[in-house]
Amino acid sequence: MLGSLRHKVIGQLLQRIRPSFSATRSYASSSSVKEMTVRDALNSALDEEMSADPKVFVMGEEVGEYQGAYKITKGLLDKYGPERVVDTPITEAGFTGIGVGAAYHGLRPVIEFMTFNFSLQAIDHIINSAAKSNYMSAGQISVPIVFRGPNGAAAGVGAQHSQCYAAWYASCPGLKVLAPYSSEDARGLLKAAIRDPDPVVFLENELLYGESFPIPAEALDSSFSLPIGKAKIEREGKDVTIVAYSKMVGYAIQAAEILSKEGISAEVTT
């Protein structure tokens, strides 16, 4: 009796939550679908936003001459020069503080951490200098800055390269935290993050950089972006909802396929 009541209450709560989810995007409805890696999706988003807004610049270790540790910034130094693609010393606290100061003055920095584990060196600037400024200034100061880089476990790396910081940063007031899965979402959300007036932590998964996903023609338009704060239904279902983010979305979809063979219709939402 108690168990059936609990399931009924959970079902009612899901019906209340579900309308706030964004509508499912269908690749099949697009007239043209291409394959794109997550790496290329991120690179194209940076390129287009830098082209559209001269206030956008990239700063971090090896983002310029080396084309980025993971080649996300490939080609940007040649196109925009060293004033907008800034190689830094190995000093996260230093270049993050410079980035926050630049954002105070109306620029739109994109700060790359070679791994988000190293963002701990700069966490005071991220939290106390960037995230809290809008609240503490009663909305008078906006800090349009993006902190991005690989996050979470990867392959063949040590513990100091493997921690996931999504829960850490998501618990801090004033920060928006994004962790995309597919190429379309990586591209659309990074463009939205750069345009946003508030600080955004953008968590990428190293293992997804080289993975290809279908991306519709409309998502390749330079004006394309995705709304921050709306969920996306990756797979429709009516019996249970599986919520995941970043690389785990792929595993959730696989789990839903297994459940379907047992007669369970599982929705996957990210």
As a whole number of angstroms, the distance between CA 101 and CA 233 comes to 38
- Give the three-state DSSP class for 48: helix
31 neighbors 25 (Cβ within 8 angstroms)? no
Between CA 85 and CA 89, with CA 86 as vertex, the angle to 5 degrees is: 150
Rg of the Cα atoms in the chain: 20
Residue with tokens 């791994």: 115
Spot the catalytic one: 92, 204, 206, 267.
92
CB atoms closer than 10 angstroms to residue 233: 17
User: Is 112 tagged catalytic?
Assistant: no
Helix (H) or strand (E) holding 147: strand 146-150
Q: Go through 47-67 and write b for each residue having 16 or more CB atoms within 10 A of its CB, e for each that does not.
A: bbbbeeeebbbbbbbbbbeeb
Return the structure tokens found at 93: 């606290």
Using an 8 Å Cβ cutoff, are 85 and 61 in contact? no
Q: Is residue 61 flagged as an active site residue?
A: no
The answer to whether 135 and 171 have CB atoms below 8 angstroms apart is: no
Select which of 48, 125, 161, 204 is catalytic: 161
Q: Which residues are marked as active site?
A: 92, 161
